[in-house]
Structure 1
Amino acid sequence: MIMNDSMLKNIRLKDGVFAPRQETNWKTTIPGCIRRCEETGRLKAFELKWKEGDPDKPHIFWDSDVAKVLEGMSASLQIHPDPAMEKKLDELIDLVIGAQQPDGYLNTHFTVIDQDKRWTNLHDWHELYCAGHLMEAAVAHYQATGRRKFLDAMRRYADYIDSLFGRDPGKKRGYPGHEEIELALVKLYHASGEKRYLELARYFVEERGTEPNYFVTAENFPEAGLKNRQAHKPVREQTEVDGHAVRAMYLFAGLADIAGETSDPALLECAERLFRNTVQRRMYITGGVGSTQFGEAFTHDFDLPNALAYAESCAAIGLALFAKRLLDITGKCEYADVLERVLYNNGLSGISLQGDTFFYANPLEMNETFFERGHIYSSRQKWFDCSCCPTNYCRFLPRLGLFCADAAPDRLRIDIPAAMEICRPEYAVEVTGKYPYDGRIGIKIKKGGDFTLSVRIPSWCRKHEILLNGKAVAVSDDGYWTSKRVWQTGDEVTLILKLVPEVVYADPRVPADIGKAAVQRGPVVYCLESTDNPGILLHSARIPAHPEFTLRAAEGLPAGTEALLFRGEAVKPSDGPLYGTNPPAYEAVQLCAVPFALWQNRGKSAMQIYLQVK
């Protein structure tokens, strides 16, 4: 059930959207993040030589940034074997595990600075969070290379943590303030076979928010802040997704892992309940989550402002992880629908096509006079003091193939029909086409075998057709076409999805979007960008309820990208008084929309997703 990097070798993306991002990650993003970690002292911190007065004081979360880069390097090696990168990876791993203490502890900040404060502030100080990322990196390295030194080092760390935390007498009844270690321990369990790690993960999930509350009684943390840490009540009792969005998504991804591993129906129901609250009441049309910069958090149902949206890149990645786990456990199409929405929109908007600049937050609206605040910038940045998002892309992008298909020995489930090659000892399949800009997809059996093939029919698709060796076949109503048979080499399935631009309305309970609509074609959400619409106040743009759309190649964006042209209305800028009695003068204009994920790759610009409906 758990995503396994060893399957990366089985799935090779060949499409025009994801595959180029993977190559850019390998060539640019990962080397760039390594360089930034060197320049900012993140790597040097593992030498444990810092002393008072030196620059680049090791921060409490720096270890996690390095860990994510190492994890990304390992995952990337599976799809882009690179001896030079592998050599650099081994050097960095030696540097990291060289900082491990005799008892197994590994944290640069608390080894050289607050040496007497280990585990004294779990709600704020990120020790368990950093440990989790190091464990994930170790598992990824082991799965990529088969070498155990990093894995064994992180097992020693996990054993040390297991000796400290739990319900046994003498142990701390604590849990992480920033969740992440929960899903990492499940990965470590799979890589090692040591069930104690699964039990420790379950403890961290189940203990959270119980009474007496550890954060309140042991660390004097104010009760008012518990919701931001998802610690205001036991997880099984939570019905709404609250607090810090990234923390919540990582926690619930770990919750889903544990529900699947332990076959706990009540825990699975809890995970599904929280997922549905997220996507039915608190998710943006782009797949973004987290509607406020204050606490980087969820607020309440239907509170989804556009210009003030936070929609952190890491939170979108976290939602993808959560959705993928529930999809693999249940096989329900609803999770693939959300996963696809994230991947083609907010999941990619946070990183430039060049792979060297990043959005931390991803608002749905950016006007010409946007006021930058917190981590919400009007243009992508090369780096941040808190650079969780750039380093997260290092490890997220190599795994895009695992989000598109699940290839087991006796079954193949294609969730997102991007062009790809899927090769296993038991069978080989080639998926061709130009999805998501063209709805005709070919699925050809390159090596026959006895297995079940399932192909998803997206919920956004109003009309579709499936042909098996040229003959139409029926589709069930569960969102998948499935056929179990002895497939012959040369067999071919043709999936035809009608891609039609649509005007999409938010639930009327979303105050920010009442009287407005967005444009979507297939899974791709579109936006107006001032680059394509010069001289127009984008926030004044109006769209007809039933516009006529024309497709054309998007200018200055990757080959195959489709732009949408339609007639609308807008106000042109003027030098009039700030207030007056004359209404704005609207005029007919041709508007051009491009995929939101690709905005601001042609220079700084204004952007608008939701348009007034005339």
Structure 2
Amino acid sequence: MRGGLHMYCEEKIQLKDAFWGEKVHLIREKVLPYQWEALNDRIEGADKSYCICNFRTAARVNALRRQGVTLPEQPTDDFVSLPRGNALLPEHKKGDNAFYGYVFQDSDLYKWIEAAAYSLMMKADDSLEHTIDEMVDLLEEATLNDGYLDTFYSIKNPKKRFSNLRDHHELYCFGHLAEAAVAYYEATGKKQLLHLAERFADLICELFGKEEGKCHGYPGHELAEMALVRLYRHTGKTSYLELARYFVLERGREPNYFRKEHGEKDSDMRYYQAQQPVLEQMEAVGHAVRAMYLYSGLTDLAVEYDDGELAKVAKRLWKNVTRKKMYITGGVGATSHGEAFSYAYDLPADSAYAETCAAIGLVFWAKRMLQLQPKGEYADVMERALYNSVLSGISLDGTEFFYTNPLEVDPKACKEDERLWHVRSRRAKWFGCACCPPNLARLIGSITRYIAHHAENTTWIDLYMGSVLRTKWQGKTVEIETTSHLPYTSDIAVRLNNPSEAEGTLAIRIPGWAEQWSVEVEDEDGTVWSVDLANVQSETLNSCGDGQQKAGMSYEYREGYLYLAIYGQKKVIIRPHFAMKPVFYEANSLVRENSRQMSLVCGPLVYCLEEVDNGAQLHMLYASPEAVEQAETYTLPFLGREAVGYQFAGFRKKANTDSDPLYHKAEREEYQPVTLKWIPYFAWANREEGEMRVWIYKK
């Protein structure tokens, strides 16, 4: 098994980035306390969670059963559906022994604990740690004697557990429990939660597998696969890794477990990615979040087992998603029907589902693809999703959230067009189905895990964020300090402090958005060398000048990274120069919805137009491709001191009035000049309500 390639945990890297530092600070100071209140149903006017209530009920019910009290068995065939418009769920009757909310409600607490653990890794907080410890005690009280932990079945009828793998979420919730447990142990060294996760994992290993007498099922909603791999990496228990592999490879095989479980012969299994064995799957289908978690898990397994077949599947599915089914914002999952992938190139802007959790899942997968094979395109997608479709899911003050992330919004259509029931023009305080808010917290809180990765004596810089990373080359400590002013300027420097003169390779990413680039390398003697694509293939840097190369650097460009092999150098400064200017992008002509339209992109950011800056009827605005060359920056105070928008000349088509006929003879169109004002897509809907549009018509 392969274990040398890894990403960094928080204790090995210090975040010193203005942009992401503010986001992480927001998670610690505002988001975690707010979400704790939401999980306890204390946010006025917000959808109810019932999450903590369910754990308290499960603990109470568990105690009664241990005392020999016989409780009535409750039906377990329900799955609370979220009413359109996220209407409030029925009020919880305090003190009764009922489960409320969704079958997967437990996972919200686990994600919150994981996010809180990452916060503790960066800054100690005794009060927060005490709150988590109280919850861990509660989880232990809610755990059955054999290690089973799921409040839905514990409350309703433990005899029915694992009876509906397709629709219910015991294995999914276990996955989030395991992720939280590992994170909390890494943060505090406390083993109680980890012990609970291992007990549950051991039970699942005992019950599931290919052996005769075991259940031959697999998770309906994937996540356990990647969580089991993480638990294996932490504990070294190979049974966890083997079970993860079983879950992935058994999925979709005949006889199909889900059809057998539900007595169905012809049901469509694409929603569950179970329509055929995973090794045979050619395109991404079904529920987008589930797909992202499955693909992340199978990529983990490809890395651990050095499995060429699984690697081939991962690369094939990656190509299908990113080249045919991904929005320019990094969002995935185009249709609200099943929160799912649509057919190739079907990427409508106004009805886009693009669930926040799906973008988060894409980031998870991209990180794992980098572990499988370091290629710049994986980091490009990870960066695009992070800065756009992920961050748009949370308001600037951290107290409101988007579940879906469309690329075009008209508030009137949101309210009156039932086909757009899922599209919001304002973020919500919370959701009855609140998978996205705590998922955002745990991703942003762990952002340092996505900056770099390492294998043997090579360190890759995948995302440029201000940070200090300590790692080892040849068993000796080296420090890599990055300064960055992304996403608004490409002022970047990477400093290597290597007091032991260890030999190693530093691979810095050349972003796909940088049409031109060069890199200055300054050695410890102050000699500066310039590298660009024209000379990168064969040049060798030799700082000692004696022809023996006792100290120096050699370099090569490969698959989106510039590899600098460094030897005999105590200090090296690398200054990448990336051409970063606003440009218009067009979609592939096979994307019908974007015909004759353009999207403004600058570096990692996608930009959008808002009504508050450009007036109503944004669909009447036009721009010429050349106009962006005259773009000027303007400040965006609501985003912070360094934030910039872009403005340049455009046109507004003359509009009809309400008194004009519905149809009329085609005539030459009239336009009037206007100034177009663009803001980062992630920042939309943080001011007054109004229209939003990513794509503008080309004139």
TM-score range with shorter-chain normalisation?
over 0.9
Superposition deviation, residue 318 in structure 1: 0.2
Superposition deviation, residue 409 in structure 1: 7.0
- Identity of paired residues, percent? 38
Question: Residue 15 of structure 2 aligns to which amino acid in structure 1?
Answer: L
The answer as to 2:520 corresponding to 1:467 is: yes
For residues 264 and 350 of structure 2, the distance between their equivalents in structure 1, rounded to whole angstroms, comes to 32
Within the candidate set 568, 588, 598, 1:507 is matched to 588
Secondary structure of 1:334 counterpart: helix
**Residue of structure 1 equivalent to 2:44:** none
Secondary structure of 1:360 counterpart: coil
Q: Which moved more, 1:281-290 or 1:581-590?
A: 581-590
The verdict on how the C-alpha distance between 1:173 and 1:2 changes in structure 2, with shifts beyond 3 A counting, is farther
The verdict on how the C-alpha distance between 1:114 and 1:376 changes in structure 2, with shifts beyond 3 A counting, is farther
**Residue of structure 1 equivalent to 2:662:** 579
Within the candidate set 433, 440, 458, 1:393 is matched to 440
Once the two structures are superposed, what CA deviation does each residue of 1:511-570 show, in whole Å capped at 9, x if it has no partner?
10011110101111110111221x342122111021131122224222211211111112
For residues 219 and 520 of structure 2, the distance between their equivalents in structure 1, rounded to whole angstroms, comes to 50
Q: Which moved more, 1:25-34 or 1:56-65?
A: 56-65
Q: Verify the 8 A CA contact 1:123 1:176 in the aligned structure 2.
A: yes
**Residue of structure 1 equivalent to 2:414:** 371
Question: Residue 633 of structure 2 aligns to which amino acid in structure 1?
Answer: L
**Residue of structure 2 equivalent to 1:532:** 613
**Residue of structure 2 equivalent to 1:54:** 93
Instruction: Please list, as runs of the form range in 1=range in 2, the aligned pairs for 1:119-518 lying within 5 A after superposition.
Output: 119-221=162-264, 223-372=266-415, 373-407=420-454, 410-424=457-471, 426-448=477-499, 449-450=501-502, 451-469=504-522, 470-473=528-531, 474-475=535-536, 476-486=557-567, 488-518=569-599
- Structure with greater Cα Rg: 2
Q: Which moved more, 1:386-395 or 1:30-39?
A: 30-39
Once the two structures are superposed, what CA deviation does each residue of 1:314-353 show, in whole Å capped at 9, x if it has no partner?
0000001011101122111111111111111111110111
Any stretches of 5+ residues in structure 1 without a counterpart?
none
Superposition deviation, residue 100 in structure 1: 0.7
Question: Residue 503 of structure 1 aligns to which amino acid in structure 2?
Answer: F
Q: Which moved more, 1:174-183 or 1:82-91?
A: 82-91
Q: Verify the 8 A CA contact 2:616 2:691 in the aligned structure 1.
A: no
Superposition deviation, residue 5 in structure 1: 8.3
Q: Which moved more, 1:101-110 or 1:540-549?
A: 540-549
**Residue of structure 2 equivalent to 1:38:** 40
Question: Residue 412 of structure 1 aligns to which amino acid in structure 2?
Answer: T
**Residue of structure 2 equivalent to 1:599:** 684
Question: Residue 587 of structure 1 aligns to which amino acid in structure 2?
Answer: Q
The verdict on how the C-alpha distance between 1:89 and 1:408 changes in structure 2, with shifts beyond 3 A counting, is farther
Q: Verify the 8 A CA contact 1:68 1:137 in the aligned structure 2.
A: yes
**Residue of structure 2 equivalent to 1:613:** 698
Q: Verify the 8 A CA contact 2:513 2:580 in the aligned structure 1.
A: no
Superposition deviation, residue 36 in structure 1: 0.9
The verdict on how the C-alpha distance between 1:368 and 1:151 changes in structure 2, with shifts beyond 3 A counting, is closer
The verdict on how the C-alpha distance between 1:84 and 1:210 changes in structure 2, with shifts beyond 3 A counting, is same
Once the two structures are superposed, what CA deviation does each residue of 1:256-286 show, in whole Å capped at 9, x if it has no partner?
0011101110111101100110000000000
The verdict on how the C-alpha distance between 1:205 and 1:374 changes in structure 2, with shifts beyond 3 A counting, is farther
Superposition deviation, residue 170 in structure 1: 0.8
Secondary structure of 2:329 counterpart: coil
Secondary structure of 1:60 counterpart: coil
Q: Verify the 8 A CA contact 1:445 1:488 in the aligned structure 2.
A: no
Question: Residue 462 of structure 1 aligns to which amino acid in structure 2?
Answer: E
Q: Verify the 8 A CA contact 1:370 1:378 in the aligned structure 2.
A: no
- State TM-score, norm by structure 1: 0.96
Any stretches of 5+ residues in structure 2 without a counterpart?
42-48, 62-70, 75-91, 523-527, 537-556
For residues 398 and 623 of structure 2, the distance between their equivalents in structure 1, rounded to whole angstroms, comes to 33
For residues 180 and 2 of structure 1, the distance between their equivalents in structure 2, rounded to whole angstroms, comes to 23
Secondary structure of 1:427 counterpart: strand
Within the candidate set 20, 23, 39, 2:22 is matched to 20
For residues 224 and 507 of structure 1, the distance between their equivalents in structure 2, rounded to whole angstroms, comes to 34
Question: Residue 546 of structure 1 aligns to which amino acid in structure 2?
Answer: E
**Residue of structure 2 equivalent to 1:552:** 634
Superposition deviation, residue 410 in structure 1: 3.1
The verdict on how the C-alpha distance between 1:552 and 1:227 changes in structure 2, with shifts beyond 3 A counting, is same
For residues 24 and 327 of structure 1, the distance between their equivalents in structure 2, rounded to whole angstroms, comes to 28
For residues 387 and 5 of structure 2, the distance between their equivalents in structure 1, rounded to whole angstroms, comes to 20
The verdict on how the C-alpha distance between 1:520 and 1:222 changes in structure 2, with shifts beyond 3 A counting, is farther
Q: Verify the 8 A CA contact 1:407 1:422 in the aligned structure 2.
A: no
Secondary structure of 1:301 counterpart: coil
The answer as to 2:649 corresponding to 1:567 is: yes
For residues 285 and 371 of structure 1, the distance between their equivalents in structure 2, rounded to whole angstroms, comes to 22
Q: Which moved more, 1:398-407 or 1:249-258?
A: 398-407
For residues 169 and 291 of structure 1, the distance between their equivalents in structure 2, rounded to whole angstroms, comes to 41
Q: What is the aligned-residue RMSD (CA, Å)?
A: 2.0
For residues 479 and 541 of structure 1, the distance between their equivalents in structure 2, rounded to whole angstroms, comes to 36
Secondary structure of 2:639 counterpart: coil
For residues 64 and 153 of structure 1, the distance between their equivalents in structure 2, rounded to whole angstroms, comes to 15
Question: Residue 625 of structure 2 aligns to which amino acid in structure 1?
Answer: A
The verdict on how the C-alpha distance between 1:591 and 1:264 changes in structure 2, with shifts beyond 3 A counting, is same
- How many residue pairs are counted as aligned between the two chains? 613
Q: Verify the 8 A CA contact 2:411 2:425 in the aligned structure 1.
A: no
The verdict on how the C-alpha distance between 1:2 and 1:318 changes in structure 2, with shifts beyond 3 A counting, is farther
Question: Residue 484 of structure 2 aligns to which amino acid in structure 1?
Answer: G
Q: Which moved more, 1:91-100 or 1:385-394?
A: 91-100
The verdict on how the C-alpha distance between 1:38 and 1:407 changes in structure 2, with shifts beyond 3 A counting, is same
Once the two structures are superposed, what CA deviation does each residue of 1:195-228 show, in whole Å capped at 9, x if it has no partner?
0000000000000000000111222256433100
For residues 570 and 634 of structure 2, the distance between their equivalents in structure 1, rounded to whole angstroms, comes to 37
Secondary structure of 2:626 counterpart: coil
Q: Which moved more, 1:431-440 or 1:231-240?
A: 431-440
Q: Which moved more, 1:219-228 or 1:201-210?
A: 219-228
**Residue of structure 2 equivalent to 1:9:** 11
Q: Verify the 8 A CA contact 1:14 1:419 in the aligned structure 2.
A: yes
Q: Verify the 8 A CA contact 1:6 1:144 in the aligned structure 2.
A: no
Once the two structures are superposed, what CA deviation does each residue of 1:403-456 show, in whole Å capped at 9, x if it has no partner?
122256733211111222223471222211311211221112345452321100
Q: Which moved more, 1:396-405 or 1:415-424?
A: 415-424
- State TM-score, norm by structure 2: 0.84
For residues 323 and 6 of structure 2, the distance between their equivalents in structure 1, rounded to whole angstroms, comes to 29
Superposition deviation, residue 121 in structure 1: 0.9
The verdict on how the C-alpha distance between 1:572 and 1:108 changes in structure 2, with shifts beyond 3 A counting, is farther
Secondary structure of 1:67 counterpart: helix
The verdict on how the C-alpha distance between 1:22 and 1:407 changes in structure 2, with shifts beyond 3 A counting, is farther
Secondary structure of 1:225 counterpart: coil
Q: Verify the 8 A CA contact 1:537 1:572 in the aligned structure 2.
A: no
**Residue of structure 2 equivalent to 1:67:** 110
Q: Verify the 8 A CA contact 2:367 2:379 in the aligned structure 1.
A: yes
Q: Verify the 8 A CA contact 2:647 2:677 in the aligned structure 1.
A: yes
The verdict on how the C-alpha distance between 1:374 and 1:173 changes in structure 2, with shifts beyond 3 A counting, is farther
For residues 152 and 2 of structure 1, the distance between their equivalents in structure 2, rounded to whole angstroms, comes to 26
For residues 4 and 87 of structure 1, the distance between their equivalents in structure 2, rounded to whole angstroms, comes to 31
Q: Which moved more, 1:384-393 or 1:466-475?
A: 466-475
For residues 271 and 301 of structure 1, the distance between their equivalents in structure 2, rounded to whole angstroms, comes to 18
